[in-house]
């Protein structure tokens, strides 16, 4: 098979998204983010990177670090509670429970995870963050907390001001119990740590409060009493409330709420590097959510809205769109909802005079288009024009300057 002219394989972080090919740096993407952010490093630990650094992020699969990292491009988000790691602070109201600070190593590798211990008797046993940051009724909201079993393993995540929404989590077996919210998830971070989260819509009086309860079982209803012996314990770290339909990377807070800025990667290559008469754009990526608020695009084009070989996650659930556009006219337009966009997919868009086609995960999607007009191509952007910035995780991008055979396209995109 041909050698790609551009190959982005995440291997280093810094002020660029670094491309392996070409080796002279022409294929590197300009990276921007106006603030610090956190990532999961190769040891599986959460660490902070500065505002000048892109993020080489590692997923954890069943508690083990995926050896193949990805670049991550997240939207702006704000952790709407203060003292996100210090449950002993008075902002956290303890109800029939106590907190002992800094008992074990947390997911950031520091000795700073706190121990929640129930008192004895039949009552609600909880810690409740009392940050009075207003949120808008009707907005989507995602609550999350890192938790680890102690002598006990069933917790409930809820909010005292979003009435009725809650989710139960089993820290022994890593499963979600009953929940009233739109969705709930538990992510295994290894060493018995889990990130528990759920998403719902803000109702009722709207403050950014998050509450963690020790409850009897996975079917416990919200804020139910639990007849505790008094020695039931779980470990907690890193709570977060954000105005999002999905959880984003952890944002630590102390005295104030804190915002992580959005990030972009743009302007790789030039007209000499790319061939605008034929080629293949190959991408392995995934979206943060099945349904997103705005289309998110990767475009091999000229930086305008008029020319490009375009790949995008669309606002319709699980919709992926492929477009070849030249001089403002679309000569290939294919959409599919057949894939879960929150899983990594491999896609290839082939463009060539009078022949355009798309492969996803080893199979051709849609028809072969025979009226393709080649677009002007002099740059590769993880955005479309001045907006529609790509948001997601990117494991690989390649650009070939020649058409490939169907067998090669199928092989290239096979998971």
Partner 1 sequence: MKVSKYEFNSQEQAEEKIAALPHLTYEDGNEYATHSHTIVKIGYIVIEQGEYDDEGEETKPPVLADKYSVDVLWNEAEITTVDEEAILDEDGMVVTPEVTSVDHPYGWKTKALDLEDEGVHKFFGVTYQDNKM
Interface residues with partner 1 (CB under 8 A)? 32, 34-37, 48, 50-51, 76, 78, 93, 95-96, 124, 126, 128, 130, 132-136, 160-161, 205, 207, 209, 211, 223, 251, 255-262, 264, 294, 305, 385-388
**Closer of 160 and 183 to partner 1 (Cβ):** 160
**Closer of 43 and 136 to partner 1 (Cβ):** 136
Direct distance between the N- and C-terminal alpha carbons of the chain, in angstroms, rounded to an integer: 18
Shortest distance, CB of residue 78 to partner 1, whole angstroms?
6
Return d(Cα 337, Cα 197) in angstroms, integer.
Answer: 26
**Closer of 47 and 406 to partner 1 (Cβ):** 47
Per the rule left: phi > 0, alpha: psi between -120 and 50, beta: everything else, 192 is: left
β-strand partners of 92: 129
- Alpha helix (H) residue ranges in 97-248: none
Shortest distance, CB of residue 15 to partner 1, whole angstroms?
14
Burial 357-385 (b: 16+ CB within 10 A, else e): bbbbbeebbeeebeebbbbbbbbbbbbbe
**Closer of 264 and 307 to partner 1 (Cβ):** 264
Return d(Cα 314, Cα 307) in angstroms, integer.
Answer: 19
DSSP letter string, 96-129: SEEEEEEEEE-TTSSEEEEEEEEPSEEE-EEEEE
Shortest distance, CB of residue 247 to partner 1, whole angstroms?
16
**Closer of 82 and 401 to partner 1 (Cβ):** 82
**Closer of 161 and 345 to partner 1 (Cβ):** 161
Shortest distance, CB of residue 59 to partner 1, whole angstroms?
22
Residue 299: exposure state from Cβ atoms within 10 A (0-12, 13-18, ≥19): buried
Shortest distance, CB of residue 156 to partner 1, whole angstroms?
12
Of the candidates 140, 391, 169, the one whose C-alpha atom is nearest the C-alpha of residue 264 is 391
Shortest distance, CB of residue 359 to partner 1, whole angstroms?
27
DSSP-derived secondary structure letter, 274 = S
DSSP letter string, 402-414: S---HHHHHHHH-
Shortest distance, CB of residue 320 to partner 1, whole angstroms?
17
**Closer of 105 and 305 to partner 1 (Cβ):** 305
**Closer of 4 and 375 to partner 1 (Cβ):** 375
Output Rg (C-alpha) for the chain, integer angstroms.
23
Shortest distance, CB of residue 330 to partner 1, whole angstroms?
10
Of the candidates 331, 231, 202, 250, the one whose C-alpha atom is nearest the C-alpha of residue 79 is 250
């Amino acid at each position: 098979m041909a050698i790609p002219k551009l190959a982005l394989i995440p291997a280093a972080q810094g002020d660029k998204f670094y491309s392996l090919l070409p080796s002279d740096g022409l294929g590197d993407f300009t990276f921007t983010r106006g603030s610090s952010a956190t990532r999961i490093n190769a040891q599986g630990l959460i660490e902070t990177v500065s505002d000048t650094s892109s993020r080489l992020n590692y997923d954890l699969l069943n508690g083990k670090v995926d050896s193949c990292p990805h670049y991550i491009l997240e939207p702006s988000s704000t952790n709407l509670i203060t003292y996100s790691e210090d449950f002993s602070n008075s902002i956290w109201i303890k109800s029939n429970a106590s907190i002992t600070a800094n008992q074990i190593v947390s997911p950031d590798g520091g000795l700073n995870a706190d121990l929640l211990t129930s008192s004895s008797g039949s009552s609600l046993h909880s810690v409740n963050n009392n940050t009075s940051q207003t949120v808008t009724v009707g907005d989507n909201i995602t609550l999350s907390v890192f938790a680890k079993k102690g002598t006990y393993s069933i917790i409930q995540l809820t909010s005292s001001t979003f009435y009725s929404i809650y989710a139960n989590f089993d820290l022994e077996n890593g499963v979600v119990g009953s929940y009233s919210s739109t969705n709930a998830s538990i992510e295994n971070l290894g060493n018995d740590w889990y990130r528990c989260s759920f998403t719902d819509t803000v109702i009722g009086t709207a403050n950014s409060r998050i509450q963690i309860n020790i409850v009897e079982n996975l079917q416990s209803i919200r804020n139910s009493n639990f007849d505790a012996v008094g020695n039931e314990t779980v470990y907690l770290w890193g709570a977060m409330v954000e105005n999002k339909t999905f959880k984003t990377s952890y944002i630590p807070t102390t005295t104030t709420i804190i915002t992580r800025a959005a990030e972009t990667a743009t302007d790789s290559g030039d007209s000499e590097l790319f061939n605008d008469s034929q080629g293949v754009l190959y991408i392995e990526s995934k979206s943060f959510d099945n349904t997103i608020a705005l289309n998110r695009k990767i475009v091999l084009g000229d930086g305008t809205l008029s020319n490009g070989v375009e790949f995008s996650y669309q606002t319709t659930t699980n919709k992926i769109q492929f477009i070849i556009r030249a001089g403002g006219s679309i000569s290939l337009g294919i959409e599919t909802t057949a894939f879960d966009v929150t899983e990594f997919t491999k896609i290839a868009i082939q463009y060539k005079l009078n022949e355009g086609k798309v492969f996803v995960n080893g199979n051709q999607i849609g028809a072969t288009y025979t009226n393709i007009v080649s677009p002007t191509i002099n740059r590769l952007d993880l955005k479309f024009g001045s907006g529609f910035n790509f948001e997601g995780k990117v494991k690989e991008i390649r650009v070939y300057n020649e058409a490939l055979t169907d067998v090669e396209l199928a092989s290239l995109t096979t998971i």
